[in-house]
A = this chain, B = another copy of it.
Amino acid sequence: MPTIAIDAMGGDFAPETIVRGVAQASVETEIQCVLVGDEAAIQSVLERVPYNPEHISIAHCRDAIGMEEDPREAIRTKRDASILVGARLVTEGRADALVSAGNTGACVLACSKSFRIIKGIRRTAIASVYPRQVGHPGQDPLALILDVGATVRCEATELVQFALMGNAYARRISKLEAPRIGLLNMGREGTKGGDVLAETHRRLQNHSQLNFVGNIEGNHVATGEADVIVCEGLIGNMVLKLVEGVAEVFANATSQAARHRLRWRVGLMLLGKALRQIRELTDYTRYGGAPILGFENMIIKCHGRSNADAIRNAVKVAAKAVRDDVPREIAEAVVGMR
């Protein structure tokens, strides 16, 4: 069973929800968890919840990096921050993978500092899991979009590597034989989107290892035409946050409707499950988190607002990625590329 280091101090509701999520995992699985952070704070949460002490240990450290801190400055000055200590646990072999819901920039920098980049990979990518409309029974309701913020602007080579990394992850984690790979672009035609995207399209189309389904436009991100969507970090980040924003507007509108009129309130009650399905589709806290791909070690980055369920899921996903050896699959794909 793999050992997972969890940054207990990162996230909007840390350490409370982080420790609760890990406590759940300790009861439900055989995964070994190392909670990294302030021991007293961690203990005070553990005292209030059921957990399996055989599956949990604590690696104490004093510092933590806040969600709003400048990542570069914080990583430089807080040498004993939980995210840095967690990353070191992995490179020292005391843990097999890392989970954090903390400051995204700090996670990327901490890993860059401690982990090695897979040979041949130029830049890392955050691969976010997102919900999509399912087209046929049995289809995975979750798809992958990368990068969503690690590499702001990209050349064609980096985007092709993101496709290979996403492909490897989807093959191992979602058990898809040949994941459908799409390139996020402003039109279906291969020549669209400027030189970099046109060149990327050409190279993906000619790539023997990839099941490339062509360009995906914004309106088809949610309709499930691709299992893995590739784009530069700037665009992926906006796409992800936009979907969050629309979901928020929807939630506000329905709750306002409920407040304003009895018949609307009754209508919402009757809709019950149908509305819940829509809400669940856009509830990011339910998904396990996003792997940062390209390092020799696995890190799962959770949403800052993650609840305990999300943390528990992330711990499970991290253990699965270790068992399935995702970094090796990526390394082999990149060797094939050269």
Contact = CB atoms under 8 A, between A and B. Distances in A.
A222 interface: yes
A242 interface: yes
A267 B220 CA distance: 29
A149 B186 contact: yes
Nearest to A219: B245
A220 to B, nearest CB: 6
Count the copies: 2
Interface residues on A, range: 35 or more
A233, A245, A252, A260 interface centre (most CB from chain B within 10 Å)? A245
Nearest to A261: B274
- Please report whether the interface of chain A is mostly helix, strand, loop or mixed according to DSSP: helix
A271 B277 contact: no
Contacts of A153: 194
A142 interface: no
A234 interface: yes
B222 A241 contact: no
A217 interface: yes
Contacts of A239: 218, 238, 242
Interface in A226-264: 233-235, 237-246, 248-250, 252-254, 257, 260-261, 263-264
A173 interface: no
A17 B253 CA distance: 32
